[in-house]
């Protein structure tokens, strides 16, 4: 969701989201320069120039050339290391201002270059760009280690951390000092020289493996299945149009294809009556990264797991999972497992009930087969229709992408006072991208970039990025955020219709953007979504709830032909069926989260990913009719970087918080209760990582979270006392 963090000392960053991711105002610090100022050398590289133009400066996307990335990054590394060396060599005693605050001011050039680099890697990944990634990603790791293993620098950070001065700092400054100190220690700052050398080598090798994993997955997701005339029978018109549009983008006019990505595959599995083709499409999708040959990820995963546990042991932890969760909200893998294991039995029990109902339909139709994974979505829709008289095809004509975007804007305005105005003329990296200025009470809050459509070279899924964090350190600087999706672009002038699930994802990702836009802190490292991994999905999952409010649906769920709002009777059916499918959704997600954790708790053993996955799922009693949402060889959350490794449980952890907070709104009288929304803003949305997340939740709810709201929200039995 936002740009990679280049200093290992910075707070946790957000990566891709999706199951399917306002702080207290602190005293304004005086600008702090490094102890020995570094005179910048004039650069001819457009990527290393400061952002100019309106809104505190904007990215010069129109100046980016792939050939400029390597020299720009190398220049950014050199500038940043010179700044760090100046801080470390300062002869004056270490203070917050000349050490921690100076660190906050370092690396701005590299941060800007990194924004460009991350965007091109995720959205415009050409073969030339992939070559740059393969060379430069390991150099990023080496660069980070040069900082965290700088003994003189760490000595100054530690001195500030242990100094009596700390008691005189603001709460945010104390938190920032803790963030730097903790992350340096966790990165190995206290290790012996030999161990530091080995950790650096591991980090560099891992960086290369993550890049290779991601590129293999992107290659497999670039494949497609061509549909015959018979394969189109029974498909909704919108799905046919999307299949034709995907073919046209690949210069295959008159053809129809299903691209090997979730946004293309899931609708086909849901609505195609052609069982043999459903099976073909499903197998291609679930075997991404697992086909043998050049793009197979199993050997890469096995090596990643070995390196991760070795690094964890060197750093003094039992497993990679224990290292990763130490400074998360869960604190330990045991706590995360306890939550997952509490929910798992109810989820698979619900699946068994749902499958039995599906099988009745198959048998009544004399299908002559048992429900298989490629049948699940198709027959689930039939059960939904039979139980709730709800056909989601009836809903889709009201789900116009642009109207829903307006609905997101409106809801955020009701809750947080935001206003959105589209602006023209700012540089963008693709013609599909549009930009809005966000204001509150006439004050500029930030910019929101929207990149909604799928294209070749763009990774699948949906996410949020922060191109620039909010801060008041050097000067009042507004954030720049983006939301990126993979909807299939329609013909000119035609509205893009999306599914209810896709609409929820749209609101989810916008929730991350709202988190960033609400940020109101002094220092950028604790701004916006720079929070613990198992906390970052909480604001985004919470924002999904506003989609189904009457206020949004009546105003913005408008029929694309008649312009009439979605009928109240249809909305009633949607709400009545709101817990339908929770068994499936929870099980496919939890299977992935549990396998992720089990892989990283296994310790220093040789692991065959496919065999491990199969054996552990059997132990869990995984229903045969469902597969993991992300099978191990395609699990980009976990193996394209460290971000969600041993951390995919975060969505369930965050949803526990989400359900509890949503009940607070319901208890107060409704989704738009002004007092509750203000409390949410003041205690959570504005705070970023300037306050411990557990304390943020207590400040809002008056207590620690409980699991009962989560179980009620999913229609599962509620444990006693929850």
pLDDT at 719: 85
The count of other CB atoms within 10 Å of the CB of residue 706 is 17
The string of pLDDT tens digits covering residues 528-580 is 999 999 999 999 999 999 999 999 999 999 999 999 999 999 999 999 999 99
Residue written as tokens 């999905």? 537
CB 553 within 8 A of CB 404: no
> Mean of the pLDDT values across residues 341-367?
97
pLDDT confidence tier of residue 316, bands split at 50, 70 and 90: very high
Of 36, 334, 317, nearest in space to 191 by CA? 317
> Mean of the pLDDT values across residues 13-19?
32
* CA distance linking residue 661 with residue 681, whole number of Å: 12
Of 468, 520, 529, nearest in space to 51 by CA? 468
Torsion of CA 344, 349, 351, 352, to 10 degrees: 150
Of 119, 4, 55, 167, nearest in space to 443 by CA? 55
* CA distance linking residue 485 with residue 51, whole number of Å: 26
pLDDT confidence tier of residue 121, bands split at 50, 70 and 90: very high
Residue written as tokens 């945010």? 172
For the sheet with 434-440, list strands across it.
418-423, 434-440, 443-453, 479-487, 463-468
- Whether 61 shows a pLDDT value over 80: the answer reads yes
Q: pTM for the full model? A: 0.90
The string of pLDDT tens digits covering residues 217-276 is 999 999 999 999 999 999 999 899 999 999 999 999 999 999 999 999 999 999 999 999
The string of pLDDT tens digits covering residues 579-622 is 999 999 999 999 999 999 999 999 999 999 999 999 999 999 99
The count of other CB atoms within 10 Å of the CB of residue 593 is 30
Between the two ends of the chain, the Cα-to-Cα distance in Å is 33
Active site residues: 509
pLDDT confidence tier of residue 42, bands split at 50, 70 and 90: low
* CA distance linking residue 312 with residue 203, whole number of Å: 11
Torsion of CA 345, 349, 352, 354, to 10 degrees: -120
Cβ neighbours for 124, distance < 8 A, ≥ 6 positions apart: 429, 430, 457, 458
* CA distance linking residue 481 with residue 467, whole number of Å: 6
Residue 574, SS3 per DSSP: helix
In the chain, % helix, strand, coil (3-state, to 5) comes to 55, 5, 35
- Whether 14 shows a pLDDT value over 50: the answer reads no
By CB neighbour count within 10 A (0-12 exposed, 13-18 middle, 19+ buried), where does 148 fall?
buried
CB 395 within 8 A of CB 500: yes
Please give the domain boundaries of the chain with CATH numbers for all domains. 46-215 (1.10.1370.40), 224-273 (no CATH), 398-533+540-555 (1.10.1370.40)
> Mean of the pLDDT values across residues 70-96?
97
Torsion of CA 373, 375, 381, 383, to 10 degrees: -90
DSSP-assigned beta bridge partners for residue 423: 435
Instruction: Give the strand pairing for 479-487 and 463-468.
Output: antiparallel
The backbone torsions φ and ψ at residue 632, rounded to the nearest 5 degrees and listed phi first, read -55, -45
Which element (helix H / strand E) includes 468?
A: strand 463-468
Of 611, 613, 609, 633, nearest in space to 622 by CA? 613
Q: Which whole-number Å values give the CA distances from 717 to 422, 576, 653, 663, 714, in the listed order?
A: 46, 17, 18, 17, 9
The string of pLDDT tens digits covering residues 167-203 is 999 999 999 999 999 999 999 999 999 999 999 999 9
DSSP-assigned beta bridge partners for residue 499: none
Phi-psi region of 387 (alpha: psi -120 to 50; beta: other; left: phi over 0): alpha
> Mean of the pLDDT values across residues 334-358?
97
CB 652 within 8 A of CB 347: no
Tokens of 127: 């073969």
What is the percentage of the chain residues whose pLDDT exceeds 90?
A: 91
Tokens of 153: 């620098």
Residue 164, SS3 per DSSP: helix
Of 672, 682, 664, 665, nearest in space to 518 by CA? 682
Tokens of 244: 């034709």
Task: In the chain, count H helices and then E strands.
Answer: 27, 7
pLDDT at 35: 37
Of 581, 560, 561, 558, nearest in space to 571 by CA? 558
Of 532, 536, 494, nearest in space to 511 by CA? 536
- Whether 17 shows a pLDDT value over 80: the answer reads no
Residue written as tokens 């100076």? 102
């Amino acid at each position: 969701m936002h740009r990679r963090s280049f200093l290992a000392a910075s707070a946790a960053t957000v990566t891709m989201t999706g199951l399917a991711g306002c702080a207290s105002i602190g005293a304004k610090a005086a600008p702090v320069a490094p102890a020995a100022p570094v005179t910048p050398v004039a650069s001819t590289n457009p990527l290393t120039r400061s952002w100019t133009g309106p809104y505190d400066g904007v990215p010069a996307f129109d100046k980016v050339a792939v050939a400029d990335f390597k020299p720009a990054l190398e220049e950014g590394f050199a500038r940043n290391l010179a700044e760090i060396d100046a801080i470390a060599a300062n002869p004056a005693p270490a203070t917050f201002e000349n050490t921690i605050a100076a660190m906050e001011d370092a690396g701005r050039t590299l941060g800007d270059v990194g924004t460009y680099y991350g965007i091109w890697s995720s959205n415009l990944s050409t073969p030339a760009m992939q070559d740059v990634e393969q060379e430069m990603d390991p150099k990023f790791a080496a660069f980070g280690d040069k900082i965290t293993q700088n003994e003189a620098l760490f000595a100054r950070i530690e001195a500030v951390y242990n100094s009596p001065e700390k008691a005189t700092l603001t709460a945010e400054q104390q938190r920032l000092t803790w963030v730097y100190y903790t992350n340096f220690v966790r990165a190995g700052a206290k290790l012996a020289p030999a161990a530091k050398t080995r950790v650096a080598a591991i980090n560099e090798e891992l960086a290369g493996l993550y890049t290779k994993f991601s590129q293999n997955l992107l290659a497999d997701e670039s494949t497609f299945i061509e549909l015959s005339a018979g394969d189109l029978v029974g498909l909704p018109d919108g799905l046919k149009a999307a299949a034709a549009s995907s073919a046209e983008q690949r210069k295959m006019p008159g053809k129809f294809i299903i691209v090997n990505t979730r946004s293309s595959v899931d609708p086909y599995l849901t609505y195609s009556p052609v069982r043999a083709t459903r099976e073909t499409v499903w197998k291609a999708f679930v075997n991404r990264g697992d086909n043998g040959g050049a793009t197979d990820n199993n050997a890469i995963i096995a090596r990643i797991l070995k390196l991760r546990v070795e690094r964890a042991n060197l750093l003094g932890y039992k497993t990679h999972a224990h290292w990763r969760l130490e400074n998360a909200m869960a604190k330990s893998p045991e706590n995360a497992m306890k939550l997952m294991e509490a929910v798992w039995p109810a989820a698979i029990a619900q699946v068994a009930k749902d499958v039995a109902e599906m099988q009745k339909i198959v048998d009544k139709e004399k299908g002559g087969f048992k429900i298989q994974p490629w049948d699940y979505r198709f027959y689930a829709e039939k059960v939904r229709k039979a139980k709730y008289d709800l056909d989601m095809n009836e809903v889709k004509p009201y789900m116009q992408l642009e109207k829903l975007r307006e609905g997101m804007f409106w809801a955020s305005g009701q809750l947080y006072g935001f206003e959105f105005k589209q602006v023209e003329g700012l540089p963008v990296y693709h013609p599909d991208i549009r930009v809005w200025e966000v204001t509150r009470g006439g004050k500029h809050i930030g910019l929101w970039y929207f990149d909604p459509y799928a294209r070749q070279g763009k990774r699948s899924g949906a996410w949020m990025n922060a191109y620039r964090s909010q801060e008041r350190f050097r000067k009042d600087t507004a954030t720049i955020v983006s939301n990126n999706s993979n909807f299939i672009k329609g013909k000119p002038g035609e509205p893009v219709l999306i599914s209810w699930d896709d609409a929820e994802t749209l609101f989810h990702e916008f929730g991350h953007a709202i988190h960033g836009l609400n940020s109101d802190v002094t220092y950028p490292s604790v701004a916006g979504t720079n929070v613990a991994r198992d906390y970052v999905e909480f604001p985004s999952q919470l924002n999904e709830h506003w989609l189904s409010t009457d206020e949004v649906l009546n105003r913005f769920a408008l029929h694309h032909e008649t312009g009439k709002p979605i009928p109240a009777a249809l909305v009633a059916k949607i709400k009545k069926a709101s817990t339908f499918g929770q068994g499936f959704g929870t099980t496919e997600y939890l299977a992935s989260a549990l396998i992720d954790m089990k892989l990283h708790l296994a310790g220093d053993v040789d692991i065959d990913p496919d065999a491990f996955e199969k054996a552990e799922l059997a132990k869990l009693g995984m229903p045969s009719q469902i597969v993991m949402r992300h099978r191990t060889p395609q699990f980009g959350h976990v193996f394209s970087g460290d971000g969600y490794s041993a951390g995919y449980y975060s969505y369930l952890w965050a949803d526990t918080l989400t359900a509890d907070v949503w009940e607070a709104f319901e208890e107060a009288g409704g989704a738009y209760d002004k007092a509750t929304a203000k409390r949410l803003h003041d205690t959570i949305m504005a705070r970023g990582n300037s306050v411990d997340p557990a304390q943020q939740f207590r400040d809002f709810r008056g207590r620690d979270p409980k699991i009962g709201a989560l179980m009620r929200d999913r229609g599962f039995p509620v444990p006693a006392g929850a």
